[in-house]
């Protein structure tokens, strides 16, 4: 299909992936960060970009990419390599998420869940035996994992969960259901959060094939269509006591995994925004109306100038977050601010980019609508836009709006 200028879509796709480094943030990164960034950028360009529109349209997860993601070190980049991770720092982890989400938020999700929500809790809260059993296979993509926190009636308020475990000899009996779980229909391993008989939240590792455990797919999503989402249903599932994560109790267990994943999302969203900006800038220079390129109109320049300004501010926020994370000084509330700001920024950039593309902006010739629809999920999962505002509100006032 040709666009209104007669140029073909293939060219638009091949030309994408311009670097946008308005404030020379590359100067703040190490050689290793730049190498990781370039390797993932190349992989996304070769493996994701050529297929992603098709998979999104079909509403199908490109499962063959799990192996490639493992090979480029996208699963647990900051988990030590002896446990199957990448052995890199938090900055590198963020940069990798940015490059993956430049391709598609669903591809970044595949990596976020595997690394930050499955490998990380096992690494941080698991026994040595659990780490040795699961982490290498999750790191190399042999196992796919998922993270079950949200329930049908408990999304923003996970503390209200009703999924529960009861002791029975050398096992726990697990009952309940989780909803909106990325990768669940494919997962070999699920990290599930459930209340024990004292009402304390505990983490258990549930394996595919355990009797009474099923993971039906959720259909009908208009967002994150290349990522598979499902439920987790537990009907008297017998889970060996050795599958309990021994080193954490309470809501801070799952929330600290979320901190890790939200950090990655605050970087990832910048990648989606950059891809939309790239496409809009190129289109504005190529597309003429009233005898001149639309990039020459002041209103188009305003849109583009504001887009790159917001992207640059988000990059600086993410970079600073990375330095704080690497110094071990980052707070959950700082991560909330960056997740909320950067995802919202990316969604606004996608909307402006869509306008610049005119009618072409709604087609699959350009990545804009796919990113825009994806970002509606990213704005909601890992804590909604408003929940993160209230976390900031609580942090600065000392007053809890959730009670």
Helices (H), 287-356: 298-326, 332-356
Told to check if 148 binds ligand TGC by CB under 6 A, we report no
CB of 181 within 8 A of CB of 230? yes
DSSP 215-265: -PBP---SSSTTS-EEEEEEEEEEEEGGGB-TT--STHHHHHHHHHHHHHH
Rounded-to-5 percentages of helix, strand, coil across the chain: 55, 15, 30
Residues 6+ apart with CB under 8 A from 372: 276, 347, 350, 351, 354
Residues 6+ apart with CB under 8 A from 71: 141
What residue 148 binds from ligand FAD, ligand TGC, none (CB within 5 to 8 A, per partner kind)? ligand FAD
Q: Is 45 helix (H, G, I), strand (E, B) or coil?
A: helix
**CA pair distance 151, 246, nearest whole angstrom:** 23
For residues 179 to 208, the per-residue mask of contacts with ligand TGC, x marking binding by CB under 6 A and - elsewhere, is ---x--------------------------
What residue 181 binds from ligand TGC, ligand FAD, none (CB within 5 to 8 A, per partner kind)? ligand FAD
Of these, 127, 256, 363, 364, which contacts ligand TGC (CB under 6 A)? 256
R_g of the chain computed on alpha carbons: 21
Of these, 68, 332, 358, 393, which contacts ligand TGC (CB under 6 A)? 332
Of these, 280, 387, 388, 391, which contacts ligand FAD (CB under 6 A)? 387
Told to check if 120 binds ligand FAD by CB under 6 A, we report no
Told to check if 93 binds ligand FAD by CB under 6 A, we report no
| Residue nearer to ligand FAD on the CB measure, 57 or 386 | 386
**CA pair distance 110, 124, nearest whole angstrom:** 20
The single-letter DSSP state of residue 179 is E
Told to check if 250 binds ligand TGC by CB under 6 A, we report yes
**CA pair distance 344, 385, nearest whole angstrom:** 8
Look up 31 and say whether it is catalytic: no
The one catalytic residue among 47, 90, 231, 382: 382
Stretch that binds ligand TGC, among 189-197, 250-258, 287-295, 296-304 (CB under 6 A): 250-258
Stretch that binds ligand FAD, among 35-43, 167-175, 178-186, 391-399 (CB under 6 A): 178-186
Strands 171-182 and 164-168: antiparallel
Told to check if 114 binds ligand FAD by CB under 6 A, we report no
Strands 189-195 and 145-148: parallel
Told to check if 342 binds ligand FAD by CB under 6 A, we report no
What residue 332 binds from ligand TGC, ligand FAD, none (CB within 5 to 8 A, per partner kind)? ligand TGC
Of these, 28, 210, 251, 373, which contacts ligand TGC (CB under 6 A)? 251
Joined together, the tokens standing for residue 371 give 């990113």
**CA pair distance 380, 378, nearest whole angstrom:** 5
For residues 207 to 246, the per-residue mask of contacts with ligand FAD, x marking binding by CB under 6 A and - elsewhere, is -----------------x----x-----------------
Of these, 72, 95, 113, 144, which contacts ligand FAD (CB under 6 A)? 113
| Residue nearer to ligand FAD on the CB measure, 110 or 274 | 110
| Residue nearer to ligand TGC on the CB measure, 150 or 279 | 150
**CA pair distance 144, 159, nearest whole angstrom:** 26
**CA pair distance 75, 93, nearest whole angstrom:** 9
**CA pair distance 5, 170, nearest whole angstrom:** 69
Phi, psi of 146, rounded to the nearest 5 degrees: -145, 170
What residue 159 binds from ligand TGC, ligand FAD, none (CB within 5 to 8 A, per partner kind)? ligand TGC
What residue 252 binds from ligand FAD, ligand TGC, none (CB within 5 to 8 A, per partner kind)? ligand TGC
Which residues of this chain interact with ligand FAD, rule CB under 6 A?
A: 113, 146-150, 155-156, 180-182, 224, 229, 377, 380-384, 386-387, 390, 402
- Positions in the binding site for ligand TGC (CB under 6 A): 109, 112-113, 147, 149-150, 156, 158-159, 182, 250-252, 255-256, 258-259, 261, 332, 381-383, 387, 391, 402
Which residues are catalytic, by number? 382
């Amino acid at each position: 299909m040709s666009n209104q200028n007669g140029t073909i879509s293939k060219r638009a796709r091949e030309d994408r992936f311009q670097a946008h480094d308005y404030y020379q943030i590359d100067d703040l990164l190490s050689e290793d960060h730049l190498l990781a960034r370039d390797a993932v950028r190349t992989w996304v360009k070769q493996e994701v970009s050529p297929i992603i529109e098709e998979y999104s349209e079909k509403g199908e997860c490109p499962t063959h990419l799990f192996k490639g993601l493992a090979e480029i070190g996208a699963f647990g980049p900051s988990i030590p390599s002896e446990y199957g991770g990448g052995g890199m720092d938090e900055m590198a982890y963020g940069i990798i998420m940015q490059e993956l989400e430049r391709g598609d938020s669903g591809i970044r999700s595949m990596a976020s869940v595997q690394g930050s929500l499955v490998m990380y809790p096992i690494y941080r809260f698991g026994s040595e035996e659990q780490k040795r059993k699961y982490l290498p296979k999750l790191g190399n993509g042999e196992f796919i994992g998922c993270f079950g926190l949200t329930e049908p009636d408990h999304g923003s308020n996970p503390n209200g969960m009703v999924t529960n475990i009861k002791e029975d000899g050398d096992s726990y009996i697990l009952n309940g259901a989780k909803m909106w779980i990325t990768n669940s229909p494919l997962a070999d391993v699920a990290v599930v959060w459930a209340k024990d008989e004292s009402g304390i939240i505990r983490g258990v590792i549930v394996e595919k094939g355990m009797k009474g455990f099923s993971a039906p797919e959720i259909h009908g999503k208009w967002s994150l269509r290349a990522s598979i989402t499902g439920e987790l249903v537990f009907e008297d599932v017998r889970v060996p006591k050795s599958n309990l994560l021994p080193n954490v109790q309470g809501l801070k267990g799952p929330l600290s995994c979320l901190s890790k994943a939200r950090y990655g999302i605050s970087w990832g969203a910048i990648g989606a925004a950059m891809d939309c900006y790239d496409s809009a800038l190129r289109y504005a220079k190529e597309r003429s109306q009233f005898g001149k390129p639309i990039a020459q109109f002041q209103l188009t320049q305003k849109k583009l100038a504001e887009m790159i300004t917001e992207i640059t501010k988000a990059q600086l926020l993410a970079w600073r977050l990375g330095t704080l994370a690497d110094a071990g000084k980052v707070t959950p509330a700082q991560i909330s601010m960056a997740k909320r700001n950067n995802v919202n920024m990316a969604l606004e950039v996608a909307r402006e980019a869509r306008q610049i593309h005119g009618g072409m902006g709604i087609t699959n010739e350009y990545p804009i609508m796919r990113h825009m629809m994806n970002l509606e999920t990213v704005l909601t999962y890992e804590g909604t836009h408003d929940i993160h505002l209230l976390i900031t509100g609580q942090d600065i006032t000392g007053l809890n709006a959730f009670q």
